[in-house]
Amino acid sequence: MPNKQLRYVGQNVARVDGVEKVTGKAKFTGDLVIPGMLHGKILRSPYPHARIRGIDASRAEMLPGVVAVLTAADISDTHPYYNGRPVIAIEKVRYVGEPVAAVAAVDQRTAAEALALIQVKYEELPAAVGLDAARAKDAPLIHENQHDNICGHEHVEKGNIGQGFAESDEIFEDTFTFPMVYHYALEPHSVIADFNDEGITVWSSAQHPFQVRGDIAKVFGLHPTKVRMVIPFLGGGFGSKSYTKFEPLVVALARKARGPVRICNSVAESMLTVRRHAARVRLKTGVKRDGTLVAREAEIYLDTGGYADNGPQVAIRAATRVLGPYRIPHICTDAYAVYTNSGSAGSFRAIGAPQTIFASESQMDIIAAKLGMDPAELRLKNFLKKGEELRPKLRGMDANLASSLKTLVWTSQWKRRSKKKGAAMGLACGATNAGATPISVAMVRLQPDGTIAVFAGSTEMGQGVRTVLSQIIAEELSLPLEAIHVGGADTKVTPYDASTGSSRSTTLMGTAVLRAARDLKNQLLKIGAEVFRVKPKEVQLVDGAMICGEMRLSFCEAMARRFGGAGGELIGHGDVGPEITGTLPVFWEIGMGTAELEVDEETGEVTIKRYVSVADVGKAIHPEGCIGQEEGAAMMGIGHTMFEQMIYEGGQLVNSSLVDYRVPTFSDVPKEFHTLLVENEDGPGPHGARGMGEGGLVSVAPAITNALARGYGVRIRDLPLTPERVWRTLREKKK
């Protein structure tokens, strides 16, 4: 049933944090000044792989203004590992940039001077930089307790792959590569830590404060309640601030310095802290002559860097996402996360999806071309229907894929524009198993003045979560947005939230907030019913008041009636757990796109003339916000498709500045950029919402390379599409 007319949900309201941000009042971790705060700097390894034979910090410790120097010797009384990585290098370094020592001083200049005085003796070891080197038979072991450099493996099997290929009329086998890329959040990683007798307090640019709290508590042997995480605004995340980064190191430094310490990364340091996994994907697909998919086999290798971080989780997602949103009776996929001597890879918007969907959707067009089928028709023929299973142990498809693709075909004018002679137009589709851990808890507190204080652990990092949560509450309680205040996460007072990532906040925290608002609403209705001497169902909430016929009672008056004066408050509680959907994923996130190109064959430069994106959002709580997320995701996709790549030579990252590492600018925006939202109101979140913001990323690369293949007859299987690569490929074709 369609929703009733909504006042706040589905409306393009002003962002609740907009004024703070545009006036500079919004505070980020790097803006905070804690009384007595010291300034920290990290000494990083110059080698990709080496043993540490000795560290002499005596000269640094004697420098006036230096309060503490931290090395591995200072953490021997802790449990010094989290997510497979040490707080600070212990006996060995595994990538250029790994923290070896850290300094706390009265100012940054003194801290930097002290770093130069620390002497470290290294014994350089053979390095394995890149997938080929790490997988070679004689590859050096990056972690000696392993028998190889594989740190995670996910295997997916359904049907009988041998039988599937035997039943296929055509078999296609291709290999694709995807570069390592950097998130480039505007705000690099920043941490302030204080360690005293009462416990640990950390101010951090962390997306997952409760997970970081748990890691810090384990490292220092404390109960989690002794660790407080305070999260101000974040200047972007995109997964770069997921999980724990270097918070334990700053805590250890603060413990030794006996005072609060702040460390803020430079962009170059953040590039060495986390990145997206580079990947090699071998894909083998069997089909019938009529285009029916029969079998798919995939072998995926992901470059996870010196430490696992969440590489095994990326492998798990990649092994599923390589299958596409298609009905394939026989599947066998293997995804491996591989240690290499480079900076660690971790979460990055749609983990494991851009790499594998680039491969999958490129091959779908290769199949369509060989069979003489329209690429859109091939996809429509093989789409999963609602309720159908993609792979064992996952929830069936919960979205109408055919409806979204038909919307894309119509909006992009695919049937007309793609048939023009020489038209360089391509399309691609993506579906990702999103939602992450379904645990979120929220609290709303009605104050005596009629305003609402919201306690929700979701991190505001530019995606607009505070605005969306405010809209959901305003709709439920019939209050103006200015009466609702959503603060940042503070684990001392904010209820638990599993994480901010995997497109989960609107769906999961949104549901928790909705339930909290309904709990509060029921309390108000009970008070109103008692005052009006009617049943609660006869009372309505309208503009901050309860009405029944001609009778009216404001929320403030209701509070006074309940508590007999100007004090007191009403508290609504809401939570969500696995019951929201039962089997994971919480929802399937759907994104589709078409690209039209123009190529200068003399230079190899590719221009995107037109890009059309379609996102199935279930219900757009804030439509403009959804479009902004979709277009932002597409621009990130344009970056890794066209030019972004982190380049290692001899273990050194050689383009670690934003002069040498190029990200998209306004000049790279498609000349025509269209985004359409599909709202079937069939998601598990409030008002039928499903998460979004990642789906718009995954179709970009294959849509562009498919357009290049259709229009110019060249199939490029290795990203990015630098002018040199495109020029050389076109030149080879002419030969």
Q: Is residue 133 part of a domain?
A: no
Helix (H, G, I), strand (E, B) or coil at 526: helix
CB atoms within 10 A of CB 196: 12
What whole-number distance in Å separates Cα of residue 508 and Cα of residue 506? 6
β-bridge mates for residue 301, sequence order:
280, 336
Spatial distance between the Cα atoms of 554 and 541, rounded to a whole number of angstroms: 9
Are 692 and 588 part of one and the same domain? yes
For 39, other C-beta atoms within 10 Å of its C-beta total 20
- Does 429 share its domain with 446? no
Q: Of 273, 292, 327, which residue sits at a domain end?
A: 273
pLDDT digits 0-9 by tens, 323-343? 999 999 999 999 999 999 999
Same-domain status, 575 and 649? no
User: 395 and 383 in one domain?
Assistant: yes
For the record, the structure tokens of 674 come out as: 């269209």
Q: What are 274's two structure tokens? A: 């986390």
pLDDT digits (tens, 9 = 90+) for 574-632: 999 999 988 999 999 999 999 999 999 999 999 999 999 999 999 999 999 999 999 99
Number of domains in the chain: 3
Helix, strand, coil distribution of the chain in percent, nearest 5 = 35, 25, 40
Alpha-carbon span 404 to 411, nearest angstrom: 10
Asked if residue 595 and residue 460 are part of one domain, the reply reads no
Nearest to 175 by CA among 718, 722, 729: 718
| 567 contacts 448 by C-beta, under 8 angstroms | yes
Taking CA 437 as the corner, what is the angle to CA 432 and CA 443, rounded to the nearest 5 degrees? 125
Q: Report the pLDDT value the prediction gives residue 4, as an integer from 0 to 100.
A: 67
Sequence-separated (6 or more) residues with CB below 8 Å from residue 519? 572, 573, 574
Tokens linked to 376 = 């859109």
30 Cβ partners below 8 Å, 6+ apart? 187, 190, 262, 264
How many degrees, rounded to 5, is the angle at CA 276 between CA 491 and CA 203?
Answer: 20
Domain identity same for 721 and 648: yes
Please count the helices (runs of H) and the strands (runs of E) in the chain. Answer: 20, 30
The reply to whether 147 falls in a domain is no
**Does residue 242 contact residue 308 with C-beta atoms inside 8 Å?**
no
Q: What amino acid occupies position 409?
A: V
Tell me the per-residue pLDDT of 7-31, one tens digit each, with 9 for 90 and over: 999 999 999 999 999 999 999 999 9
Tell me whether residue 681 is in a domain.
Answer: yes
pLDDT reported for residue 436 = 79
The predicted model scores a pTM of: 0.96
Looking at residue 262, which CATH number applies to its domain?
3.90.1170.50
The domain boundary, picked from 529, 557, 580, lies at: 580
Tokens describing residue 343 = 């900076």
Residue 176 lies in a domain: no
Is residue 441 located within the same domain as residue 428? no
Distance, CA of 512 to CA of 262 (rounded, Å):
34
β-strands 330-339, 150-158: how paired? Answer: antiparallel
Parallel, antiparallel or unpaired: strands 227-230 and 199-204: parallel
Alpha-carbon span 194 to 40, nearest angstrom:
13
Q: Provide CB contacts within 8 A for 687, sequence distance 6+.
A: 3, 6, 9, 10, 472, 475, 619, 621, 681
In a shared domain, residues 424 and 476: no
Structure tokens at 80: 């010094």
Backbone Cα Rg of the chain: 27
- Helix pair 375-382, 353-371: axis angle to 10 deg: 110
Has residue 480 been placed in a domain? yes
Quote the distance between the C-alpha of residue 402 and its chain's center. Answer: 26
Residue 322: inside a domain? yes
* Contact of 680 with 616, CB cutoff 8 Å: yes
Question: Is 142 part of a structural domain of the chain?
Answer: no
- Would 614 be classed as within a structural domain? yes
- In this prediction, the residues of the chain whose per-residue pLDDT falls under 70 are 1-4
The answer on 617 and 708 residing in a single domain is yes
- Letter for the amino acid at 553? L
In the block, tokens 């660690």 appear at 344
Round to whole Å and give the CA distance between 183 and 384: 32
Task: Give yes or no: residues 326 and 397 share one domain.
Answer: yes
Domain end (from 254, 273, 292): 273
User: By residue range, what is the domain housing residue 301?
Assistant: 278-435+584-734
CB burial of 614-650 (b: ≥16 within 10 Å; e: otherwise) equals bbbbbbbbbbebbbbbbbbbbbbbbbbbbbbbbebee
In angstroms, the Cα distances linking 284 to 1, 30, 161, 552, 596 are 43, 48, 11, 68, 27
Rounded CA gap, 442 and 449, in Å?
Answer: 21
Residue 133 CB coordination number (10 Å): 18
Short-list 289, 269, 378, 291, CA closest to 42:
269
Provide φ and ψ at 104, rounded to 5°: -115, 125
| Residues 688 and 614 occupy one common structural domain | yes
Cβ atoms 397, 387 nearer than 8 A: yes
| Residues in contact with 420: Cβ distance below 8 Å, sequence separation at least 6, in sequence order | none
Q: Which residues of 542-560 are buried (b: 16+ CB within 10 A; e: fewer)?
A: eeebbbbeeeebebbbbbb
What is residue 725's predicted lDDT score, i.e. its pLDDT?
98
* Reduced 3-state DSSP string for 15-64: CCCHHHHHHCCCCEHHHCCCCCCEEEEEEECCCCCEEEEEEECHHHHHCC
Work out the end-to-end distance of the chain between its first and last CA atoms, rounded to an integer number of angstroms.
Answer: 60
Cα separation, 44 vs 7, in Å, equals: 53
Q: Judging by beta carbons within 10 Å of its beta carbon (0-12, 13-18, 19+), is residue 485 exposed, middle or buried? A: middle
**269 and 282 in a common domain:** no
Q: Strand order of the sheet with strand 38-44?
A: 66-70, 99-105, 38-44, 261-264, 190-196, 199-204, 227-230
Q: What is the pLDDT of residue 1?
A: 40
What DSSP designation does 726 have?
Answer: H
Residue 475 sits in a domain whose CATH number is 3.30.365.10
